[in-house]
Structure 1
């Protein structure tokens, strides 16, 4: 199994841990941002991290691995490859997370939900709800980076390769805003 230090080294060497003033997808602000796309642009890193994340779910009978677009697509692909499972992704349509592109889940299928980074876990919770509405069984959550501080309960087991304590602030109480430092939105979803 890969160590926390090895995972952190991969992220740091890829330039994925950014410093500055960031608006997170959750709406909160932070002085650091984990840009997993910087790691996942390297197939050797994506493959290794996907294989390592899959280890927690080997022999669980996973039929489908699913992740939210954008961050979960490559992670789902690599975890699915390692598990020999079908891979899907959800997208937002009219503000709601949904399956599109002819993707389908069948009742009773065992589904692993994956994501690159979680802070509030909102997108993952939405994907879990999509899975349940279609009659499939969400059996777990796997993430590359958990920056929630251990506060998220998905109601199903979840595993992460890296837990990072990155401070975040309500925009109204953000010390970086008070200093007049402009916030940027580096992720894939605008708020």
Structure 2
């Protein structure tokens, strides 16, 4: 199966990123206030992809993943979704890509290998060719590490990682969690939207000035090195 060609996009190829941010806000998946992160930081915003939980929002989310995959410039032959959130994302995005004329296989992993029936810990198409890994966010990179290892053991090639939102803040060092994963595994990491896209969207809304100020202050303290 041939790799996806570079798509011909609209005059503003990044408009879908800000549209995704607006969609996440309207869906309640992107919230503002004070939230404690896994790293113990008090963040002025919080993104929870688990709140995309009906057919309409999942369909829209998959559409944004498909657009981001096509816009990424990453050559890939199939999709892989790490258990658990990645399972739905890979399946739905495959449907959206097919609707756009790119019918690609997908698969996902079980947390524990099945010892009966078809057996194994991979469900769906066999891992082959260049594989794009889909997930919601990157925290410590553990699930991405497992996915990369599974793909390589199968003789396939990890092509890249696509997540919903890149917070662009420092992980264990000066780099962001996304940058750390990309450097560790030698694969590109891309996102539907980044913190900069969040800020660009909010700056266009006069009633969101306080959120913009808080997020910019947070980014000054914890932002990753570009």
Give TM class, smaller chain. Answer: 0.5 to 0.7
**Aligned Cα RMSD in Å?**
3.0
Q: SS at the partner of 2:186? A: coil
The yes-or-no answer on 1:76 pairing with 2:90 is yes
The yes-or-no answer on 1:164 pairing with 2:195 is yes
Partner of 1:172: none
CA offset at residue 164 of structure 1?
Answer: 2.7
Tell me, in whole angstroms, the C-alpha distance in 2 between the residues paired with 1:92 and 1:121: 16
Give the TM-score of the pair, scaled to structure 1.
0.68
Partner of 2:145: 125
Tell me, in whole angstroms, the C-alpha distance in 1 between the residues paired with 2:131 and 2:89: 14
Gaps of 5+ in 1: 168-191
Give the TM-score of the pair, scaled to structure 2.
0.58
Q: Give 1 or 2 for the bigger CA radius of gyration.
A: 2
Give the structure with the larger helix fraction: 2
Aligned positions, number? 159
Tell me, in whole angstroms, the C-alpha distance in 2 between the residues paired with 1:101 and 1:121: 20
Give the structure with the larger strand fraction: 1
Of structures 1 and 2, the one scoring higher in RCO (CA 8 A, sep 6+) is 1
Change (3 A) 1:59 1:132: closer
Gaps of 5+ in 2: 1-12, 114-119, 170-175, 197-214, 219-226
Tell me, in whole angstroms, the C-alpha distance in 1 between the residues paired with 2:86 and 2:159: 17
Q: SS at the partner of 2:161? A: strand
Tell me, in whole angstroms, the C-alpha distance in 1 between the residues paired with 2:27 and 2:132: 27
